[in-house]
Structure 1
Amino acid sequence: MTSADIEIPNPPSDSISSLSFSGKADYLAVGSWDNSVRVYELSPQGQSQGRAMYSHQAPVLSVCWNEAGNQIFSGGVDAGFAFDIATGQTTQFAQHDGPIKVVKWVNTPHTGLVVTGSWDKTIKYWDLRTPTPVATVNLSERCYTLDAHYPLMVVGTADRQIHLFDLAKSTTPYKTMTSPLKLQTRVVSCCHPSDKAGFAVGSIEGRVAFHYVEEKNRSYDYSFRCIKDQSLIYSVNDINFHPVHGTFTTCGSDGTIHFWDKDARMRLKSFNRAPGPIVCSTFNSRGSIFAYAVAYDWYKGHSGMADGHPNKLMLHAVKDEDVQKRAPRR
């Protein structure tokens, strides 16, 4: 956290699980373990105002927006729901045999799809014009994380497998590999669209790895430790690429946030350590606002949820000099 960061008032009453900015305006959707999805409107001065809220019957684990910025999709322990911003109506669009860990809107050339990844070891593709999934894919284990920049989609599962999809050709994976990191996968994030096709993997051991899809780019693969404190094992909870510059952030369960230049292989900025784990984060569409949540990340289960644990929703004004790429080291 920095001294200039702004705390949004009236956050959810339980741990924040997911953040997503609309691509059309500075509206921030926030999913929580209190079963709610809240929508905040942010001003250029950093002020916030609650605009909408709807509820699941169980904890919400993931939220995202459609491309038009008029619908929110959320997945949780119960099901997947769509919320219409204009009408305030909520409708169920997805169902799995287990909790939905991830929802992701994927822009395809003809129509957008919502992809849901579940602990029932499947992912499903949903065309909102039909009530049943257009495709279902069986995975090797529970879906822990998923990201997509069409046509690339990357899915990380509980057995450290990484499934790669070329959505321009098929709804099934064309390649499955073991994570380049030794311990459990926590997050995958597709590289900036202007970059070579590739993705980042973050794990519970405090490391990040970059892996490129095409063999000719594999020489750019590397991994590094981004959480230096080795007295305990801290996980990388989230990775976000800046929408303009293609640099990236890491958020850790040790309460740290770092901005990095992937190509120069150097750290650009570090925040002061927060009073709790950084559980999720996101940039707005222009990359001028970085939102992050300080909350309990359930690493000790229910017994670790002590009274007074911080549950903060924070906004950081991004300076260009903190996210612009540097000249590569020689």
Structure 2
Amino acid sequence: MSNFMAASNQNQNPNKSFEVTHLPNDSISSLSFSPKTNILVATSWDNQVLCSAWKDDGSTVFSGGCDKQVKMWPLAGNQPVTVAMHDAPIKEVAWIPEMNYLVTGSLDKNLKYWDLRQQTPIHTQALPERCYTLSVRYPLMVVGTADRNLIVFNLQNPQTEFKRIVSPLKYQTRCVAAFPDQQGFLIEVKEREILELILCSSFQAMARCSQPIPCSAFNSDGSIFAYAVCYDWSKGAENHNPATAKNCIYLHVPQEADVKGKPRINTGKR
């Protein structure tokens, strides 16, 4: 975990962001901010952790990965506890405070809903393919799977698909983000372009990074944007050069002018 104030500005990236110190030894697989503070959790391939999520009160972190388990990490210092299991690596995990449930998505082609007071899932939802990404903005949940499937759920009826569509983009969906107003969602297909896709609609132009950007996250009030720059393993181990593949996490402080929407110009045309 890292705190924003612990970041170092000694080694700035081309965008002059703060560089976080004391990083994992391998590529970053996910980033997530506490909903209550500026504590940032980063997971990494060095221990094959693929995803993380916070409980809404900021007291607990959940992590899932290649060991097919989700572990619950109380920040009070207690030992981690296994709270969920799948038959294949777990790619996504999310806490749903409105339901007091944990939802997990796996490469075993299943979603599972968990009540942490029980050792077995309260419901298992079969997916058409392997789960690669999911996003929750209650009651909306969107799941992206292999073969470009996008499955939409209304969590007021979580055992039934609300809608299933095939992504209109020709590449595999890597990330999905539900809108805060639950009226839609964004998808991202090329990991090395994730920052540019975010910035093109909000920030001013920023310098292109020298390596892929596999994950990013805003803090709870949008005042800090964290992003990882590292090798993403999309081209396999044979293209990984440890001498040049530096792992970095940067913290960018958006200015109001960067993120404020531009007013529309009324041209009189429809």
Q: Which amino acid aligns with 1:30?
A: A
Q: Which has the higher mean CA deviation after the structures are superposed, 176-185 or 116-125?
A: 176-185
1:11 counterpart = 2:1: no
Q: 1:68 — aligned with what?
A: 57
Q: 1:218 — aligned with what?
A: none
User: Secondary structure of 1:132's match?
Assistant: coil
Q: 2:232 — aligned with what?
A: 297
CA distance in 2: counterparts of 1:163 and 1:258, whole angstroms: 22
Which runs of no fewer than 5 residues in structure 2 stay unpaired? 1-12
Q: 1:207 — aligned with what?
A: none
The alpha-carbon deviation at position 287 of structure 1 amounts to: 0.8
Map Cα deviations across residues 281-315 of structure 1 (whole Å, 9 max, x no partner).
00111111111101111111121221120200111
Q: Which amino acid aligns with 1:327?
A: P
Report if the CA contact (8 A) 2:140-2:154 is conserved.
yes
CA distance in 2: counterparts of 1:259 and 1:3, whole angstroms: 12
Q: 1:327 — aligned with what?
A: 263
In structure 2, the CA distance between the partners of 1:318 and 1:88, relative to structure 1 (3 Å rule), is farther
CA distance in 1: counterparts of 2:56 and 2:241, whole angstroms: 38
TM-score, normalised to structure 1, is 0.73
Q: 1:198 — aligned with what?
A: 184
Bigger proportion of residues as strand: 1
TM-score, normalised to structure 2, is 0.88
In structure 2, the CA distance between the partners of 1:3 and 1:170, relative to structure 1 (3 Å rule), is closer
Q: 1:52 — aligned with what?
A: none
1:220-235 paired onto structure 2 within 5 Å: 235=190
Map Cα deviations across residues 106-127 of structure 1 (whole Å, 9 max, x no partner).
222xx42111100000011111
1:118 counterpart = 2:122: no
1:72-87 paired onto structure 2 within 5 Å: 72-78=61-67, 79-87=69-77
Q: Which has the higher contact order (CA 8 A, sep 6+)?
A: 2
Which runs of no fewer than 5 residues in structure 1 stay unpaired? 36-58, 204-234, 238-249, 262-266
The alpha-carbon deviation at position 13 of structure 1 amounts to: 0.3
Q: 2:194 — aligned with what?
A: 251
Q: 1:159 — aligned with what?
A: 147
Q: 2:174 — aligned with what?
A: 186
Report if the CA contact (8 A) 1:162-1:179 is conserved.
yes
Report if the CA contact (8 A) 1:148-1:154 is conserved.
yes
In structure 2, the CA distance between the partners of 1:198 and 1:150, relative to structure 1 (3 Å rule), is same
Bigger proportion of residues as helix: 2
% identity of equivalent residues: 43
Instruction: State the 4+ residue runs in structure 1 displaced beyond 2 angstroms.
Output: 1-4, 169-172
